[in-house]
Homo-oligomer: A and B are copies of this chain.
Amino acid sequence: MVKNTYMRWRLPFVCLLWEVAMIILFGVFVRFDPEADAHWKEEQRQKNLTSDIENDFYFRYPSFQDVHVMIFVGFGFLMTFLQRYGFGAVGFNFLLAAFGIQWALLMQGWFHSFENGKILIGVENLINADFCVGSVCIAFGAILGKTSPVQLLILTLFQVTLFAVNEYILVSLLHVKDAGGSMTIHTFGAYFGLTVTRILYRPNLEQSKDKQGSVYHSDLFAMIGALYLWMYWPSFNSAVSNHGDAQHRAAINTYCSLASCVLTTVAFSSLLQKKGKLDMVHIQNATLAGGVAVGTSAEMMLTPYGSLIVGFLCGIVSTVGFVYLMPFLESKLHIQDTCGIHNLHAMPGLIGGIVGAVTAATATEEVYGKEGLISAFDFTGDYKDRTPSVQGGFQAAGIFVSLAMALAGGAIVGAILKIPFLGDPADENCFEDDVYWEVPEDEESSLYHMHDPTLKPVTS
């Protein structure tokens, strides 16, 4: 079947429409948070802050920049492993994230930072917008190489919206803690993406099977993405935690979990391959599962050894998922998951939700201190009588809500993306940059052409 992938009018139309809408909505709604406003000096006196260094900017900006790198370089380059889809991986990730952060500032702003008809944004909002877009980058991983940029912009619009609703239910209605987003980002993003790719199932995708692998250098580019995700994950999980000990603790727990995860990933990558050789796909992905799985609990008193145990298990689960579960999902359930997000985000995200629920449920005044317990779980105001075990129950409920939102939302958005005229590629053109990008003719390709055996050889 010939598909029309001509983007010249459709893509500019959507980009410009989306962006004009952003400008109008920002004009009506978005203003600076008091800490970023020129009236700050007066504000500061009211709050009795003795120094400019107590501006939230200095507590969070370094973490923000790390998260920013994870979204744009981390996710972008992690997906460059495909031999001829590097432009699409980095470039479309760039496009959807740049749009998504704007829409996320609005959606999350209406729910969480809306005061007197205005959304007031500061550095914490920027981090949360990046987080929200992270869930879209995850979903993109499942459909990588099989959709047009127009489809991706539509997906982003809807997924960000649903993310904000889900986050509002969890954080504001259920009073759930999820600073590193095991539930809101990973579980939601991954099951959403898996549902979308299920709806967009392509029975004849084996026509582009030869392009689904990597080449030597594309695997090295992907390692750039993988390592930046791995290195900055402590910043990701601690970025929006409470000032002081909570941020400090979240970084340490995540550091430990990730370190442990690398060893079990390597062990099982070798163990599950007949020749005992390591597989770059596992090293690039399963080593990150430890970061996903402490997303909820990192800011709690999970303890360093607790983190090591979580990382230990997730390296195994994720690697086993790549080897055994992924082929099963494709052949039996018709879920074509390009990057294996089921192994890196879905299962570890669920584990992260469960670990968070258990860690919360077992919190005691002895371990946290009286003040510490109240502060860690924000047992104040309406929630001042909530106990740790009740909190654990609500945490568990958060997992199911995220899962339900992801499945229902993914089904609807998947159906929307099946609308014709959105410019998706034909089965034989999947995983191929040439469809949407001006691709330079390479030395190698020109060489290839020169020696094309079907051409009349010079010497005959």
Contact = CB atoms under 8 A, between A and B. Distances in A.
B267 A11 contact: yes
A422 to B, nearest CB: 14
Given A23-B312, A252-B121, A440-B214, A245 B38 contact: yes
A228 to B, nearest CB: 7
A308 B457 CA distance: 57
A63 B258 CA distance: 19
A90 to B, nearest CB: 5
Interface in A223-244: 223-224, 227-228, 230-232, 234-235, 243-244
Nearest to A40: B245
Contacts of A283: 91, 94
Contacts of A31: 303-304
The number of times this chain is found in the oligomer is 3
Contacts of A160: none
Contacts of A149: 266, 278
Contact of A264 (B15, B66, B243, B278): B15
Contacts of A83: 440, 443
Interface string A329-341: 0000000000000
B263 A19 contact: yes
Given A16-B263, A244-B52, A453-B450, A39 B251 contact: no
Chain A facing B: main interface SS: helix
A117 interface: no
Contacts of A122: 248, 252
Contact of A7 (B126, B276, B451): B276
Given A305-B26, A447-B444, A437 B278 contact: yes
A243 B16 contact: no
Interface stretch (A96-104, A180-188, A380-388, A413-421): A96-104
A369 B38 CA distance: 7
Interface in A40-79: 40-42, 44, 50-59, 61-63, 65-66, 68-69, 72-73, 76-77
Contacts of A23: 260, 305, 308-309, 312
Contacts of A271: 8-9, 12
A460 to B, nearest CB: 5
A78 to B, nearest CB: 13
A459 interface: yes
Contacts of A213: 440-441
Interface stretch (A167-175, A370-378, A401-409): A370-378
A296 interface: no
A235 B65 CA distance: 8
Residue among A39, A122, A223 with max Cβ neighbours from chain B (10 Å) = A223
Contacts of A375: 38, 41
B304 A121 contact: yes
A121 to B, nearest CB: 6
12 contacts: A9-B271, A11-B267, A11-B270, A37-B245, A42-B369, A50-B51, A53-B53, A84-B216, A90-B223, A98-B263, A98-B287, A213-B441
